[in-house]
Amino acid sequence: MLISGSRGQYEYIIVEKRGENKNVGFIQLNRPKALNALCDGLMKEVGYALDAFEADGEVGAIVITGSDRAFAAGADIKEMQNRTFQECYGGNFLAHWNRVSTVKKPVIAAVNGFALGGGCELAMMCDIIFAGEKAQFGQPEILLGTIPGAGGTQRLTRAVGKSLAMEMVLTGDRINAQDAKQSAFELTLAEGNRLEKRLFHATFATDDRKEGMTAFVEKRKASFQDK
């Protein structure tokens, strides 16, 4: 069981048991230089830690958090930019992220700083969100020529309502913790994840998705051609 209370067992996260009775599983995303960007290795480690905590009879609840600056600023775009439609569709890209939402024990997201793209989706997979005053939520995938691919279009609609969710997804605009609270930022199980995943995979067949992610990595403005 990979619970050691140290960084030794994991590369991208810190895993501990906390509380007076050591009955709270604690997972801290730990890629500070990348603002906790959710690379494949990090999400696999989160899955391993969740499996271990779920099997641990002493653990009654699990907390996932990041840093003061960023819960998670999104998926790792450098890792994604050269993927093809065939790779995404054939390999069911991002499917393992859903492990967070299937844990039987309560999972709490403690969010401060950026929770954008995949970071926002990760928070919404949790059962409860505690958001700090500096928390910012957003789905800016449109700015990269793609769409949310890990539940964003489904959970966000149920969390903040259709109108605000559409505004966030179609513009890439962010909301802060106060806006989220006023919009009843509560989480439900997404029913449309399968359709969303297929549409997300389909964006990897477009030139604009490749251009958007390449421009992000190269720190320049994207030149979209609507194809």
CATH of the domain at 26: 3.90.226.10
Q: Is pLDDT of 185 > 70?
A: no
Distant-in-sequence, close-in-space partners of 27: CB < 8 Å, separation ≥ 6: 13, 14, 15, 46, 49, 50, 62, 63, 64, 65
**Region 176-180 average pLDDT:** 75
**Region 87-91 average pLDDT:** 80
Q: Which of 37, 52, 72, 75 does the annotation list as catalytic?
A: 75
224 assigned to some structural domain = no
Amino acid at residue number 54 = E
The total domain count for the chain is 2
Active site residue 66: no
46 assigned to some structural domain = yes
Kindly state whether residues 169 and 210 are assigned to the same domain: no
Q: Is pLDDT of 195 > 50?
A: yes
36 assigned to some structural domain = yes
Kindly state whether residues 46 and 134 are assigned to the same domain: yes
90 assigned to some structural domain = yes
Kindly state whether residues 70 and 172 are assigned to the same domain: yes
Kindly state whether residues 157 and 104 are assigned to the same domain: yes
**Region 25-32 average pLDDT:** 94
Residue 201: give the domain boundaries: 189-218
Q: Which of 25, 74, 118, 145 does the annotation list as catalytic?
A: 118
Kindly state whether residues 142 and 107 are assigned to the same domain: yes
Active site residue 138: no
pLDDT-based confidence at 189, cuts 50/70/90? very low
Active site residue 118: yes
**Region 11-31 average pLDDT:** 93
Q: Is pLDDT of 109 > 60?
A: yes
Q: Which of 45, 73, 110, 141 does the annotation list as catalytic?
A: 141
Q: 154: helix, coil or strand?
A: helix
Q: Which of 121, 159, 211, 215 does the annotation list as catalytic?
A: 121
**pLDDT attached to residue 5:** 46
Strands 13-18 and 24-29: antiparallel
pLDDT-based confidence at 16, cuts 50/70/90? very high
Kindly state whether residues 102 and 176 are assigned to the same domain: yes
Q: Is 85 within 8 Å of 209 (Cβ atoms)?
A: no
Kindly state whether residues 202 and 151 are assigned to the same domain: no
74 vs 67: CA distance, rounded Å: 14
Q: Helix 152-160 vs helix 193-203: angle between axes, to the nearest 10 degrees?
A: 130
Active site residue 121: yes
Q: Which residues sit opposite 136 in a β-bridge?
A: 114, 176
